Structure 1
Amino acid sequence: MDDLPSLAEPNPMTEEKQRLEQQLWNIANTLRGKMDADDFRDYILGFIFYKYLSRKMEIYANEILAPDKLTYDDIKEESPEGQEYLEAIKAEALEALGYFLKPSELFYQLGARGNADGKSKFILDDLTKVLNNIAQSTMGTDSEEDFDNLFEDLDLTSSKLGKTENAKNELIVKVMSHLEQIDFKLEDSEADVLGDAYEYLIGQFASGAGKKAGEFYTPQQVSKLLAAMVTTGKEKLKSVYDPTCGSGSLLLRVSKQVKEVGKFYGQEMNPTTYNLCRMNMIMHAVHYRRFDIKNENTLEQPQHIDERFEAIVANPPFSAKWNPDAVINDDRFSAYGKLAPSSKADFAFVQHMVHQLSEDGNMACVLPHGVLFRGAAEGHIREYLIKDKNYLDAVIGLPANIFYGTSIPTCVLVLKKQRTHEKDVLFIDASQHFEKVKTQNYLREEDLTKIIDTYRERKAEDKYSYVASLQEIAENDYNLNIPRYVDTFEEEEPVDLTAVAQELKGLEKDMKSTDQTIADYCKELGVESPF
């Protein structure tokens, strides 16, 4: 990874965040070379999360013990008095934090035991037990589902860590020792420096993960765009939902656009990514009662089907295969009279989201360009959404190659059930507004601002945006291909044929002169001239 970019203006909070990001990435590189990117991502993020839980537990326990002039370190776990303290602290911690750790189970205690007297001591068994105890501490409580199997991808017995038990132990102790030297500054409840740094690490892993990256991470600039679309005109949200939530980056981005989000809902099919999403929520200080993330196939096993959401954002897997037979007579799809083809689930996700959208809600999702013009069942669904329901509010064309793992051009569809502008649809062609960074195209802040301002002001701009009437869209047979509405054709400069003719005459004269020069040289050298 290159060094982080320098700041244009000093900003203590930003500088602190960048410093922490660099420190964490350097520690992540301790594992680089030992295993592939996906694996060392799971280990480093898991250990950062364990340290975070430990530090939160210690801070909370110290607050409870402060009136008794004690710290959590002072508790003798085996004494009757210590047991009494631990029971009282556990009851409060499970309610406030959602989990419990004893003093001996804290990150720094394990790290110290592993590095006693400057020598690496064996702690893998103890560490495995502690990670299991975190989940077990929640059993039978409201937070059980939120902490269940959170550390299942952190396999301390894996040969990826080393060939022998001692080699594995040495690597883990080394990573923990490096992490212990970093102050997460969790006492500052106003700052979310660590949460942002954790998000940064997830993005760094995504940038190097190739095709797999799309399974768990939406590029930050796209997240900002979708979040702006669904929060336009709103300062607070009762709920936000992502049916393909990955690492949760989209959900968390929405929360940065408004003053308050009541609750976060998400569903993710991949178990590893599901764990990552829950960790990401907790690392951003989202209380366990304020998020509900499920691990299931959204199209076939929707887990929040009775809920309706004020904001929905999504970056579904592009043109994924699915099983329409599994949803026959499903209320999400039956009104349309057609199902998305089994080879392309794009509109199935749209139909699912529309079903879950509240009457006053906003929805924005990223899809491949094909959804704008493909015919057959997809054309029928598109027509139903526009002609019968009038839900489509805007179509935004994005540049190609802005997503990890795919170079295809994409678009954003914005839908609402109660539209202010009922007689038209806004089209924006932002496909040519970007910066190329290495091998990836990137939406700059000015590009995002232009899209968002154009959407919010609903303005037409030559070669960039157009407000199309529903009549125009109907005349185009509900084909939404953006060039049908936004004319980006650039006229070529007229050719001055007289000037071209004069230029050709000049070239011919120069060629004759050059030919004669070559012929003279050939004569001097006594060789046959080519002319």
Structure 2
Amino acid sequence: MANESNGSDLQFEAELFKAADKLRGNLEPSEYKHVALGLIFLKYISEAFEAQRVKLEQEEYADPEDPEEYLAARVFWVPEIARWSYLKDNARARDLKITDPVTGKEKKVDIGGLIDVAMEAIEKANATTLKGVLPKDYGRPALDKEMIGDLVELFSDVTMHTEGEKSRDLLGRAYEYFLSGFAGAEGRRGGEFFTPRSVVRVMVEMLEPYQGRVYDPCCGSGGMFVQSEKFIEDHSDQRDIEAAKRRISIYGQERNHTTWKLCKMNLAVRGIDADIRWNNEGSFIRDEFSNTYFDFILANPPFNVSDWWRESLAEDVRWEAFGTPPQGNANYAWLSHIYHHLAPRGTAGVVLANGSMSSQQSGEGEMRRQMVEKDAVDCMVALPGQLFYSTQIPACLWFLAKDKSANGHRDRRGEFLFIDARKLGTMVDRTRRELDPKDIEVIATTYHSWRNKDGGYQDVPGFCKSARKEDVAKHGYVLTPGRYVGAEDAEDDGVKFEERLVQLRETLSRQFSDARSLEIQIAKNLLRVVE
């Protein structure tokens, strides 16, 4: 892709996706997704391998042919037959004679068959991390080999104006953008594996996962984890990024095997070490981390699932805190599962349908009362509509805390923050809205100013309200922010809510920037102390 926007902004990813999408012909997005993403993965790890190889060749005592040298640098070993340069040279192959690195036998392949062999070779060389993860059906007769060759050549041009780490970053961005693009193309089915980045970013910025265990019980393609590491990159001294990343450990579970593979590839593209487990029963029936507790939990579980219950769950320990969830809707089962898995000072962010904030059906109202009385809820955020690919059901964010008196913040016991963000966001196309960086800042910084000691928090009519337990009780333990934030206050100076919100954004943005500078300075001072 030889164009001026290559790598400079999101236009690069959009143009690359548009070009790739033209090549799929009549292939369904759900099927084409794995074709395109598998090739981007191959390109990415080959780029990483070649960059590390150059470094090793320049070191006096390093061996560029030793796979352990690559493993030590968190880089996958890529066998010669799987390297992108070889695939590119044979993008139009029809009867290429090769020696299969797995069987040792000679055979003839086209470009699709060659990619399958490459995937097999990479899995064999990196079995601990990638066994059973990569797609290996490029050689099937139904797949157009001209299209595959076109894709190989298209992705080969990604690095035309970039080198080294920069090109690898572009490929990582492209992978994430393609996940988003395919989620949009698949609609409801796509939403099962992808949570919009702006929604994830709100949750991550609010929870601030600097160090500890991060968990997602229904992790989809791993977006929560990618954004957690991105948060660390954005809030760390550049000299300390790798060390900072090692301060978090990532755990996840996914029920859909195909989505689990997408997650494993997505994290591998980003160089993220994680313990991601799959079983076809899911986190309720077969909890892979039943005896593990986490500092941060981020989740976007499927909304209003009705067929989750099994009789084996009747006396489950996860229901001890708030009671047994209704069998016909899993929303409160997810909240209970997540709260149960929080460490003593852990916090969680959960995306749920708006109905979860007010429903009285099947004992949900009583469970919500228990959550309020036991101070399990920290903050509620009402989101704008049209954010999600999978549903038009209005959604909200629940923020849970195991101990509201701990974690270095002020004592918030008996207090709850309500944020009504329904007026935020910008339409990015005819059907979907996104929260822009300033929207995310204003939500996150409002929460931090309320949670932190001497944070300078103030209620903003129509947007945010700090309420006490007795206030929530008066509202029947309904947690819908609109009930608490009140109407827009324009009586004193005639300033409209939208204008006041702009001013609030600017003020909070400055505070956010000052806080970030202070974090970096503290990190530098700590480094000096250690040295």
1:170-185 matches, cutoff 5 A: 170-183=146-159
* C-alpha separation in 2, matches of 1:238 and 1:193: 28
* C-alpha separation in 2, matches of 1:17 and 1:470: 46
Matched with 1:246 is 220
> Aligned residue pairs: how many?
448
The alignment partner of 1:473 has SS state of helix
Q: Residues 324 and 472 (structure 1 numbering): CA distance in 2 closer, same or farther, change over 3 Å?
A: farther
Q: Residues 334 and 158 (structure 1 numbering): CA distance in 2 closer, same or farther, change over 3 Å?
A: farther
Deviation string 1:145-181 (CA, Å, 9 cap, x unpaired) is: x3122223x42244541xxxxxx33332222122223
1:25-104 matches, cutoff 5 A: 25-66=17-58, 85=65, 89-94=66-71, 96-97=73-74, 99-104=76-81
Q: Percent identity?
A: 27
Matched with 2:258 is 272
* C-alpha separation in 1, matches of 2:485 and 2:262: 40
* C-alpha separation in 2, matches of 1:328 and 1:121: 54
The alignment partner of 2:392 has SS state of coil
The alignment partner of 2:213 has SS state of strand
1:315-326 matches, cutoff 5 A: 315-321=300-306, 322-326=308-312
* C-alpha separation in 1, matches of 2:75 and 2:319: 38
Q: 1:110 aligns with which of 76, 87, 98?
A: 87
Matched with 1:9 is none
1:334 equivalenced with 2:316 (yes/no): no
Q: Residues 186 and 417 (structure 1 numbering): CA distance in 2 closer, same or farther, change over 3 Å?
A: farther
> CA shift at 1:116, angstroms?
6.6
> CA shift at 1:15, angstroms?
4.4
Contact 1:27 1:179 in 2 (8 A): no
Q: 1:24 aligns with which of 1, 13, 16?
A: 16
Contact 1:111 1:176 in 2 (8 A): yes
Matched with 1:423 is 414
Deviation string 1:500-527 (CA, Å, 9 cap, x unpaired) is: xxxxxxxxxxxxxxxxxxxxxxxxxxxx
* C-alpha separation in 1, matches of 2:63 and 2:157: 21
Q: Residues 189 and 491 (structure 1 numbering): CA distance in 2 closer, same or farther, change over 3 Å?
A: closer
Deviation string 1:104-149 (CA, Å, 9 cap, x unpaired) is: 33122133134479x998243333222112212234xxxx2x3122
> CA shift at 1:23, angstroms?
5.4
Matched with 1:292 is 275
1:402 equivalenced with 2:379 (yes/no): no
Segment of structure 1 superposing worse, 60-69 or 477-486 = 60-69
> CA shift at 1:347, angstroms?
1.1
* C-alpha separation in 2, matches of 1:367 and 1:45: 28
> CA shift at 1:223, angstroms?
1.1
1:169 equivalenced with 2:145 (yes/no): yes
Q: Residues 423 and 41 (structure 1 numbering): CA distance in 2 closer, same or farther, change over 3 Å?
A: same
Q: Residues 67 and 397 (structure 1 numbering): CA distance in 2 closer, same or farther, change over 3 Å?
A: closer
Q: TM-score under structure 1 normalisation?
A: 0.76
* Corresponding letter in the other structure for 1:466: K
* C-alpha separation in 1, matches of 2:72 and 2:433: 45
Q: Residues 310 and 216 (structure 1 numbering): CA distance in 2 closer, same or farther, change over 3 Å?
A: same
Q: Residues 243 and 14 (structure 1 numbering): CA distance in 2 closer, same or farther, change over 3 Å?
A: farther
Contact 2:382 2:395 in 1 (8 A): yes
* C-alpha separation in 1, matches of 2:261 and 2:469: 44
RMSD of aligned alpha carbons: 3.2
> CA shift at 1:47, angstroms?
0.5
The alignment partner of 1:244 has SS state of coil
The alignment partner of 1:362 has SS state of strand
Matched with 1:513 is none
* C-alpha separation in 2, matches of 1:269 and 1:107: 32
Contact 2:380 2:398 in 1 (8 A): yes
> CA shift at 1:415, angstroms?
1.0
* Corresponding letter in the other structure for 1:127: I
> CA shift at 1:62, angstroms?
4.1
> CA shift at 1:349, angstroms?
1.0
Q: Residues 29 and 214 (structure 1 numbering): CA distance in 2 closer, same or farther, change over 3 Å?
A: closer
Q: 2:434 aligns with which of 401, 425, 442?
A: 442
Matched with 2:461 is 462
Q: Residues 70 and 13 (structure 1 numbering): CA distance in 2 closer, same or farther, change over 3 Å?
A: farther
Segment of structure 1 superposing worse, 190-199 or 33-42 = 190-199
* Corresponding letter in the other structure for 2:132: N
* C-alpha separation in 2, matches of 1:372 and 1:54: 47
Q: Residues 19 and 461 (structure 1 numbering): CA distance in 2 closer, same or farther, change over 3 Å?
A: closer
Q: 2:133 aligns with which of 150, 153, 156?
A: 150
> CA shift at 1:189, angstroms?
7.2
* C-alpha separation in 2, matches of 1:432 and 1:125: 51
Q: 2:190 aligns with which of 209, 213, 217?
A: 213
* C-alpha separation in 2, matches of 1:109 and 1:314: 40
* C-alpha separation in 2, matches of 1:189 and 1:435: 29
> CA shift at 1:98, angstroms?
6.6
For structure 1, list consecutive stretches of 5 or more residues without a partner in the other structure: 1-5, 7-11, 73-84, 162-167, 493-531
Q: Residues 326 and 134 (structure 1 numbering): CA distance in 2 closer, same or farther, change over 3 Å?
A: farther
* C-alpha separation in 1, matches of 2:220 and 2:330: 17
* C-alpha separation in 1, matches of 2:11 and 2:365: 50
Q: Residues 436 and 48 (structure 1 numbering): CA distance in 2 closer, same or farther, change over 3 Å?
A: closer
> CA shift at 1:17, angstroms?
5.0
Matched with 1:304 is 289
The alignment partner of 1:358 has SS state of strand
* C-alpha separation in 1, matches of 2:41 and 2:377: 40
> CA shift at 1:94, angstroms?
4.6
* Corresponding letter in the other structure for 1:428: I
Contact 1:239 1:311 in 2 (8 A): yes
Matched with 2:515 is none
> CA shift at 1:213, angstroms?
2.1
* C-alpha separation in 2, matches of 1:431 and 1:358: 31
* C-alpha separation in 1, matches of 2:339 and 2:207: 13
Q: 1:129 aligns with which of 94, 109, 117?
A: 117
Matched with 2:340 is 355
Segment of structure 1 superposing worse, 241-250 or 428-437 = 428-437
* C-alpha separation in 2, matches of 1:212 and 1:169: 27
Q: Residues 401 and 276 (structure 1 numbering): CA distance in 2 closer, same or farther, change over 3 Å?
A: same
1:228 equivalenced with 2:195 (yes/no): no
Segment of structure 1 superposing worse, 389-398 or 29-38 = 29-38
Q: TM-score under structure 2 normalisation?
A: 0.76
* C-alpha separation in 1, matches of 2:69 and 2:437: 44
Segment of structure 1 superposing worse, 419-428 or 96-105 = 96-105
* Corresponding letter in the other structure for 1:247: S
Q: 1:384 aligns with which of 353, 367, 370?
A: 370
Deviation string 1:40-99 (CA, Å, 9 cap, x unpaired) is: 111111011012222323333444344589997xxxxxxxxxxxx5xxx13444554474
Q: 1:364 aligns with which of 349, 352, 357?
A: 349
